[in-house]
Amino acid sequence: MTFSIAARCVRTGEFGVAVSSSSPAVAARCAYVRAGVGAACSQNVTDPRLGPALLDALADGAGAEEAVKRLADAEPHAAWRQLTAVGVRGVPAQHSGSGTLGVYAHAVGADVVAAGNLLADPGVPAAMAEAFATSPDAPLGLRLTNALAAGAAAGGEAGPVHSAGLLIAADVPWPVTDLRVDWTDGDPVAELAALWRRWEPQCADYVRRALDPGAAPGYGVPGDPA
């Protein structure tokens, strides 16, 4: 019911996830990032506890492969889970249990891991990973939304998708980007890309407003209506 991509940007140190599904509000349950630590997805028959557990393992010093294996070995319902993770260094990793639904597949690159279940085509994750790798100097959000669009163009989920999300961590404790299309009868992947284009020029300003309101554009004077 889901296809996703988790990645790191070696140029900026950011981590991000993009995901789409036929289910509502997929990013609320499946996408996880943590500044300076990594990115993770928990999907298929989703347990929202598993994404934070993967990030905790990465924060404790485990590589992505160790973190995923450790969690899959300990999780009593691992057969139903599809997990991905990417950390600060090392090879990204994935787990797809034997109960993963329908056609499922994954693709792992140097800084990216993509996976999906109930896919229209097993080449969907590879299409996402390939698209991500084509523009290493572009902003991470653009790379991820382009990759998600490539996955959709390669077939995406077997049925229509209705939700999508983009989550990015940078160098502050909160996600600097958290964009979601929680339900649409249109094209959530395209709508998410449009949200990113609207958000990206303002993203750094919102971080500055949090850290130093007096220095933020348009917010230098208390009571300023701008």
Q: Is the dihedral of CA 84, 82, 20, 57 positive or negative?
A: negative
Which strands, in side-by-side order, build the sheet including 93-96?
A: 31-34, 38-44, 81-87, 93-96
Would you say residue 97 lies in a domain? yes
The pTM (predicted TM-score) of the whole model is 0.94
CA–CA separation, 211 and 70 (whole Å): 37
CA–CA separation, 2 and 9 (whole Å): 23
Would you say residue 222 lies in a domain? no
Could you report the per-residue pLDDT of 190-202, keeping only the tens digit for each? 999 999 999 999 9
Would you say residue 211 lies in a domain? yes
Mean pLDDT of 3-24: 98
The count of domains in the chain is: 1
Domain enclosing residue 129, as ranges: 2-215
CA–CA separation, 42 and 7 (whole Å): 14
Could you report the per-residue pLDDT of 136-170, keeping only the tens digit for each? 999 999 999 999 999 999 999 999 999 999 999 99
Would you say residue 57 lies in a domain? yes
- What's the number of CA atoms in the CB half-sphere (13 Å) around residue 78? 12
Would you say residue 226 lies in a domain? no
CA–CA separation, 124 and 110 (whole Å): 18
Q: Place 214 in a pLDDT band, splitting at 50, 70 and 90.
A: confident
Residue written as token pair 């990015």: 168
Q: Place 223 in a pLDDT band, splitting at 50, 70 and 90.
A: very low
What CATH number did the domain enclosing 25 receive? 3.60.20.10
User: Does residue 106 register a pLDDT over 60?
Assistant: yes
Would you say residue 45 lies in a domain? yes
